[in-house]
Amino acid sequence: MTSIKPPGVRSAYKDSAVSTNNGRTVMPVKTLTNFLDDNKVKYVTIRHSIAYTTQQIAESAHIPGDEMAKTVMVKLDGRLAMAVLRGTDKVDVDLLRGAAGAKDAELAGEVQFQGKFPGVELGAMPPFGNLYDVEVFADTALAEDEEIVFEAGNHKEAVKLAFEDFNRLVKPKVAGIACPVVAP
């Protein structure tokens, strides 16, 4: 995989996580917003009460659940990748395997990516895998929306920006990789 990131991104953004939250280092939303500012992106930051699931965030921030994007960590032929999809959907591993041209595809367990995103709270990864040399796949349903809203590296803030800007900065592979969650 070819890394798609502006020159100097790793040192300018990835290594700037310095704030703490209950003794844990977290990526300040400022790190992400500095990257967006440097790339002339218009965005809105949304502060909300602590929430750990996409649906909790949507409820807390008063955003429809299908307008929230979630980042799901996956393993494709043994390498980590990000699957970005609507908060109301789930990854279809078979579709993802096909889109990636991989032999094997599976959801990654937290232990498999813990520490991969220094300064980012576990489970709150923004879908900017390009900043961490992680390939990104985005579901086609997201590309149909004008905007994307996602966690900003912690469980208290989200960022909303145009999907066109997300696509330009991250250059994800856009493919049908998700299906709706069916209630039991």
**End-to-end CA separation in angstroms for the chain:** 38
For residue 26, list its beta bridge partners: 19
> Structural domain tally of the chain?
1
Query: How far is it, in rounded angstroms, from Cα 14 to Cα 16?
Result: 6
In a domain? residue 184: no
In a domain? residue 1: no
In a domain? residue 2: no
In a domain? residue 104: yes
Per-residue pLDDT tens digits for 11-46:
344 444 434 444 443 445 777 888 899 999 999 998
In 143-157, which positions are buried (b, 16+ CB within 10 angstroms) versus exposed (e)?
A: eeeebbbbbbbbbbb
Contacts of 183 (CB under 8 A, 6+ apart): none
In a domain? residue 159: yes
Decide: pTM greater than 0.85. Answer: no
Could you tell me the residue range of the domain that residue 89 belongs to? Answer: 9-179
In a domain? residue 97: yes
In a domain? residue 164: yes
In a domain? residue 29: yes
Contact at 8 Å (CB) between 136 and 84?
yes
| CATH code of the domain covering residue 110 | 3.90.960.10
Per-residue pLDDT tens digits for 69-105:
999 999 999 999 999 999 999 999 999 999 999 999 9
